Amino acid sequence: MGERYEPTSDFLNAVIAEDAPLSGSEMAEENLRRLIDLMRDEDRSNRDWATFLLAQEEIDTPNVRNALIRAAKDDDDMVRAEAVLGLAIRDPLLALPFVQQALHADAVATPVLEAAALCAHPSLIADLRIWAKHSDQPLAKLAADALAACEKVR
């Protein structure tokens, strides 16, 4: 069995363990700022986890959106994918150009396909058809689900 993938940051591990809240108090606001700062960390595991954690939060502020937009341009595929999903959860139209770009890549990550389903835009249909046909089973299923969502709004 492989080693468990965790961030190197003790702070992020505290957020994962729900020992560092991100909303509801001044301390939580500072924690949120730290989380956003870690989205720029040199350590890929920290950027990836910080982006994943922020994407899954229900917090929707201009700072959060800006952090997710910045992360959607990260060098790392998974950081970008998590950020795109976070954007799609908050604002599908804002996420749409990032989803379109990600679907043109040589590989697609699960969060991008989840974001495509949330965007449910006809412009994604052609690319999703390709991913639905030429992906491994779990990705093909997600691509087919996203394709169905996009075809409903056509």
Q: Report pLDDT digits (tens) over 109-141.
A: 999 999 999 999 999 999 999 999 987 888 999
Give residue limits of the domains in the chain.
10-152
* Structure confidence by residue, pLDDT tens digits, 32-74: 999 999 999 999 999 999 999 999 999 999 999 999 999 999 9
CATH top-level class for 10-152? mainly alpha
- Phi then psi for residue 80, to 5 deg, are -60, -45
Residue 23 and residue 59 in contact, taking contact as beta carbons nearer than 8 Å: yes
Residue 135 and residue 127 in contact, taking contact as beta carbons nearer than 8 Å: no
One-letter amino acid for residue 63 of the chain:
N
Global confidence as pTM: 0.94
